[in-house]
Amino acid sequence: MSTIRPCVGISACLLGEPVRYDGRDKRHTFLVETLGPHVEWCPICPEAGAGMGIPREPVFLRQGMQQNEMIGWESHRDYTPAMMEWIEQQLERWRALSLDGVILKSKSPSCGLAGVDVFDTEGEVVEAGRGLFAEALCAVESVPFVRSEKGLDDVEEQEHFLTQIFTHARWKAWQEEGQTAAQLQAFHASHKMLFLSYDQSCYRKMGPLVAQWKQRGMEQTCHAYAKLMSQALMTPPQKGDHVNTVMHLFGMMKRAVPAPVRKRLEQQLRDYTDGTLALYVLREALKEVIEGHDVMPWLKQQVYLSPHPVALSWS
């Protein structure tokens, strides 16, 4: 897993590139220093890219007949046609890049995912909208897992996003290696507990889909599998989902693990349930026990034990 590097689109200012209207940046420490070493960034600045210059006059969104318009605060120039033309070209490029996720700068009239002020012609705020680039990007089906940097302030959201992008990247890598039944079975086997933790309904459909791949053929099976995987990864698991998954793991390892070790793990699971132990500590403990005992090899391969390589600062 350590060689997997998800390809992530990002607003360039978040990486420290001085592309904002005032010639400055919005460097985001977590993204640059913690996540950066583990991913391939695909930086983009819609306003600089659309030829608005650096520095440039700041812009705002104005309610229009067909769509919101991008207007200069000082000149009142309408930048919408230039921006939309550039967006059209860039989306083609981003489709070809096959991204695993995207992180956009919040509140920007170009990149903001939500809550961007939209004004009427009188200068009154009439709605909270989306930046023009963010709006267009979210309509592209092949671009998965779009977040704002604000949405990643919370460590549980970070965990969820990282699991999404690394799982997507592993799936992509598997597809590039050639789609054989044996490889699909191996991919599914190693991700079973992860998908169980995310969505039991999808999890129950995935196993039979893989087992009966001959009925649909490999291509259609992979297509259906990828759809279920995306659906499963949409909503983060709740505490009860993790408890259920860990109980499954306990059930499968109990014969190989001595009673005192099991008891210690059970206490750690209770501590996690009570909120006194972080999920990653529980996972680390599980991983250590699984790796140190003669359990089924299948258990040692579970991605659930280590869904991504990034060390998050859990408190």
- Identify which of residues 102 and 269 has a Cβ nearer to ligand SF4 in the complex: 102
Q: Is 11 in the site for ligand SF4 (CB under 6 A)?
A: yes
Q: Is 20 in the site for ligand SF4 (CB under 6 A)?
A: yes
Please say whether the beta carbons of 47 and 104 come within 8 A: no
Q: Is 196 in the site for ligand SF4 (CB under 6 A)?
A: no
Report the alpha-carbon distance of residue 274 to residue 73 in Å, rounded.
Answer: 52
Number of residues that bind ligand SF4 (CB under 6 A): 13
User: Binder to ligand SF4 among 4, 7, 12, 70 (CB under 6 A)?
Assistant: 12
- Identify which of residues 107 and 283 has a Cβ nearer to ligand SF4 in the complex: 107
From the list 44-52, 172-180, 273-281, 286-294, the region that binds ligand SF4 by CB under 6 A is 44-52
DSSP codes, 189-252: HHHHHHHHHH-HHHHHHHHHHHHTHHHH-HHHHHHHHHHHHHHHTSSPPPHHHHHHHHHHHHHH
Q: Is 110 in the site for ligand SF4 (CB under 6 A)?
A: yes
Q: Is 135 in the site for ligand SF4 (CB under 6 A)?
A: no
Q: Is 80 in the site for ligand SF4 (CB under 6 A)?
A: no
> Strands of 40-44's sheet, edge to edge?
40-44, 7-11, 101-104, 146-148
Report the alpha-carbon distance of residue 158 to residue 160 in Å, rounded.
Answer: 5
User: Binder to ligand SF4 among 38, 47, 102, 232 (CB under 6 A)?
Assistant: 47
Q: Which token pair is 141?
A: 């089906």
Q: Is 108 in the site for ligand SF4 (CB under 6 A)?
A: yes
Please say whether the beta carbons of 115 and 107 come within 8 A: yes
Task: Write down the H helix ranges in 34-78.
Answer: 46-49
Interacting residues toward ligand SF4 by CB under 6 A: 11-13, 19-20, 45-48, 105, 108, 110-111
